[in-house]
Amino acid sequence: MTHLEKSPYPATARATGGRGGASCMDWRGLLFTSAAMCALGLVLFAARGYAQVAPAAAASAPAAEDSRIRPFRINIPKAQLVDLRRRIAATRWPDKETVADQSQGAQLAKLQELVRYWGSGYDWRKAEAKLNALPQFTTTIDGVDIHFIHVRSRHKNALPVIVTHGWPGSVVEQLKIIAPLTDPTAHGGSADDAFDVVVPSLPGYGFSGKPTGTGWDPDHIAQAWAELMKRLGYTRYVAQGGDWGTPISSAMARQGAAGLLGIHINLPATVPPEVAAALGGAAPLPANLTDKERAVVDALMTSGKKGTLAYFTMMTARPQTVGYGATDSPAGLAAWVLVHPGFAQWTYGGDPEKSPTKDDVLDDITLYWLTNTAASSARLYWENGARGSVIVAAAQKTGEIALPVAITVFPEDVYRPPETWARRAYRNLIYFHEVDKGGHFAAWEQPELFAAELRAAFRSLRPAQ
């Protein structure tokens, strides 16, 4: 599917050197536990002590694992693109939904329009060229090939940052922030704001390898990312993540990854134990909540009642089952990706100037299709399983994070934490900012703003010049 070739990039641009079965879920899979504790479509993990599950043994690395950094280049065979269009043309469509909104899922007319464009006007080769214009590599860590983009800044003393995507994102989601971060002087910043940027594909996603055994949960991926940065020769760096990138970056900080200076996250784990208990129906709602905190609770409860996180429940419980339809049908894959609440306000390319565009989203969906990663990517939800909610402070053990933490809240994200909860959750919170635009896919939607937030968030962590 991919073709490894000698890297076309100059040397200065190249690097050197089983727990499934969540039964009920609230919003964004943010709070979940056993069926007996489910209430209002919300679930509790931290309220009465979340389950203590021994982490799965990480796959042991082969004795002679190849730790080299290998150049990587994409070259999808034409036959695969022809097959994709054939399958799109043969789509068997369901009947139209019986409501006038998205409450039953992706709406037929909108999805048909997008998929028909996918099968006629869309050109994967443009996406392939954009990716191949960047330095790409693979390296084997714990028996799995990890694909990553690595762009060094031309500015001296650039701060290395590893940026982690989530689902249904990919490295495509991060492409628009690379230039603002590596070349800040061309994007409203100064040379002192420059970053070297590393964007890996999660195991089971995109051009990374697919784990053949269990154990690749956020903690294991965090360890792999620390090893990756070590192999790249970085002794001081920062990490950024949203969606799955948040628990992964947070695990790096909690584990004290060598050289890690601090992290920046969106979708942070800030829900206090007493609020988690109330959301799960195990206790009354605290009486001393501020108006802003109560509004956040109301939003979580409303989303839970609407079943917004049904996809999360299914992938956590039965990722293999999800994979069959999404692997066999392009339309099925597109509908499954677009059920994510981060796409709730997306206009299906109605405004070609608004990011992500129709082609941007199809670049991402096509990457999933061509790499056959619908099932393997879903397994990350199963791997996380009983480890706990991604927004509950106790479940994510935020109290164990001593390194500096920075948070940006985007107004259209699926969870907008109040600053009061953030300061309780992270004892070394060095930056908290609520911006005026952007949503769950902030790097995709507002790349210039996102880059500016990273510059501001990490400025205090840069070594003195």
Catalytic residue status for 426? no
Please state the φ and ψ torsions of residue 325, each to the nearest 5 degrees.
Answer: -65, -40
Sheet with 195-200, side-by-side order of all strands = 70-71, 136-141, 144-151, 195-200, 159-164, 237-241, 260-265, 405-409, 429-434
Rounded Cα–Cα distance for residues 367 and 167 (Å): 12
Catalytic residue status for 381? yes
Whether 130 and 366 have beta carbons less than 8 Å apart is answered as: no
Helix 319-328 with 374-384: angle, nearest 10 deg: 160
CA dihedral angle for residue 223, residue 226, residue 231, residue 233, rounded to 10 degrees: -170
Amino acid at position 437, single letter = K
Rounded Cα–Cα distance for residues 404 and 406 (Å): 7
Catalytic residue status for 122? no
Residue 220 C-beta-side C-alpha neighbours within 13 Å: 23
Q: What share of the chain is helix, strand, coil (3-state, %, to 5)?
A: 40, 15, 45
24-25/32-33 β-pairing: antiparallel
Tokens of 27: 């919003």
Amino acid at position 153, single letter = S
SS3 153: coil
Q: Tell me which of 122, 237, 381, 431 is the catalytic residue.
A: 381
Rounded Cα–Cα distance for residues 134 and 122 (Å): 21
Q: Tell me which of 142, 217, 219, 243 is the catalytic residue.
A: 243
Helix 78-89 with 358-371: angle, nearest 10 deg: 110
Q: Tell me which of 147, 150, 264, 440 is the catalytic residue.
A: 440
Tokens of 453: 């937030």
Number of H helices, E strands in the chain: 16, 11
Amino acid at position 210, single letter = K
Residue 239's H or E segment, with its range, is: strand 237-241
SS3 34: coil
Whether 44 and 33 have beta carbons less than 8 Å apart is answered as: yes
Alpha-carbon radius of gyration of the chain? 21
Please state the φ and ψ torsions of residue 432, each to the nearest 5 degrees.
Answer: -145, 120
Please state the φ and ψ torsions of residue 396, each to the nearest 5 degrees.
Answer: -90, 5
Whether 258 and 239 have beta carbons less than 8 Å apart is answered as: no
Cite the beta strand spans of 232-362 per DSSP E.
237-241, 260-265
Whether 160 and 17 have beta carbons less than 8 Å apart is answered as: no
- Residue count of the chain, please give it: 465
The residues annotated with a catalytic role in the active site are 243, 381, 440
